[in-house]
Amino acid sequence: MLKVLRIILSISVVTLGSYSLITRTFDLLPYSFILLGFLSLVVGLIKLKKDKKSFWGYINIGASAFVFFVLIYTSQFS
């Protein structure tokens, strides 16, 4: 289930990012960041599910938390 979610999120992030770069409209960038945060969270959970003491699993979850923090912080002031 998590692997399917990872594939769907990966395709969505690449699609939104490519669309933003090609059209040079960055209105969809916050949605891309939300999906990127969820993708990082899912990857971290997959790695922790494989190995309970996975260093990269914790790094991915920390990166996901950072992306969500920046997203909330920047949307508050824009």
pLDDT digits (tens, 9 = 90+) for 17-74: 999 999 999 888 889 999 999 999 999 999 999 998 889 999 999 999 999 999 888 8
pLDDT of residue 78: 57
Residues in the chain: 78
- Residue 29 sits at the vertex; the CA angle it makes with 71 and 67, to the nearest 5 degrees, is 30
Q: Which residues, 6 or more positions from 47, have their beta carbon under 8 angstroms from its beta carbon?
A: 54, 56, 57, 60
Quick check: pTM over 0.85?
yes
